[in-house]
Amino acid sequence: MEDPHITDDEVKMWTGWRREEISKMHESIEGSMKQSKNRSSELALIMFWMKLRTNLSYDQIGSLMNYKSASGYQRKRVSEGCSSAQKALLINFVPRFLGAEHLTRTQALAHQTIYSKTFFGDNVALILDGTYYFIQKSKDHAFQRATYSGQKKRHLIKMLSITFPDGYVVDTVGPFSGAANDASITESILQLNDSLQLWTEDGDTVIVDRGFRDCIGSLEDAGFEVRMPAFLPAQQKQLSTADSDATRLLTKNRWTAEAYHGRIKKMGSSV
């Protein structure tokens, strides 16, 4: 069975990636996936991204791809193809582009901007920011309780992103429960993951928002200089000029993390 024909425009529409981007991913996993007479590894990769982007059922994806046999749409084979693509990406593709281990200090310094160098010195500046993704209510009671957010009144999972001032993504860590906050997530990362210590040095800067106020001490103990927007003092209607300027400097640098979260949420939205 030959792969069904899918145009470049259809690849972009259903996966969110251009054909050349899919081909680039495919180059890194081609040797680690078994080719099948029923589908190629590239088709499995396309179906995997279709599933992530649209959350269509495996039967629906098989129908769209005209991927069927005498017994009907091959739900099991579509599922197995998506699973194989996911495993191959996690083993061969993700470690090359995500996680602190794929960088050196020289590379980290190259991702600093003229603004971060001017404001925070010629060292490494990291931006930590949390985000969340709404999910459906689970039938599993324990998971349902773990993913419910009392703040948002919905079920969700949380992630923590580490980026550079130029927008380069160092890592996205998670998922964490809906009840976790940025501070508790950071504490967990500091206790369980010391990969940043491979190339960070004492005096490097961490830029955070006010949600990290409870873990400032832990970040400082790890050798970071923490920069956080100022709090408005009690019975005061606005920040002082110095605090306002310092807060603007942080906003000028940390907007890239918010932009990154916007991109991945858009990527995951339905077409």
- CB–CB of 174/162 below 8 Å? no
Q: 191: domain CATH number?
A: 3.30.420
- E strand or H helix that includes residue 245: helix 241-268
pLDDT of residue 164: 93
**Given 53, 82, 97, which residue is the final one in a domain?**
97
**Given 73, 97, 121, which residue is the final one in a domain?**
97
Q: Is 47 contained in some domain?
A: yes
pLDDT of residue 56: 85
Residues 245 and 171 in one domain: yes
Residues 254 and 240 in one domain: yes
Residues 109 and 177 in one domain: yes
For the chain, residues with pLDDT lower than 50 are: 1-2, 270-271
- CB–CB of 185/173 below 8 Å? yes
Residues 49 and 72 in one domain: yes
Residues 69 and 52 in one domain: yes
Q: Is 42 contained in some domain?
A: yes
pLDDT of residue 109: 92
34-59 pLDDT, tens digit per residue, is 766 666 888 888 889 988 888 888 88
Q: Is 1 contained in some domain?
A: no
pLDDT of residue 68: 62
Which pairing describes strands 154-163 and 125-134: parallel, antiparallel, or unpaired? antiparallel
Q: Is 171 contained in some domain?
A: yes
The number of angstroms, rounded, from the C-alpha of 29 to the middle of its chain's C-alpha atoms is 20
Look at the chain and report how many structural domains it folds into: 2
For residue 14, the enclosing domain spans 8-97
Residues 232 and 176 in one domain: yes
How far CA 111 is from CA of 122, 163, 219, 226, 251, in Å, comes to 11, 10, 21, 19, 17
How far CA 175 is from CA of 40, 115, 136, 157, in Å, comes to 31, 31, 15, 6
Residues 199 and 147 in one domain: yes
Residues 128 and 193 in one domain: yes
Q: Is 194 contained in some domain?
A: yes
Residues 60 and 173 in one domain: no
What letters, b where the CB count within 10 A reaches 16 and e where it falls short, cover 22-58? beebbebbbeebeeeebbbbbbbbbbbbbbebbebeb
pLDDT of residue 1: 41
Residues 31 and 55 in one domain: yes
Residues 140 and 212 in one domain: yes
Tokens of 259: 């932009």
Q: Is 3 contained in some domain?
A: no
**Given 59, 82, 97, which residue is the final one in a domain?**
97
Residues 240 and 151 in one domain: yes
Q: Is 86 contained in some domain?
A: yes
Q: Is 2 contained in some domain?
A: no
* Dist. CA 216–CA 11, nearest whole Å: 44
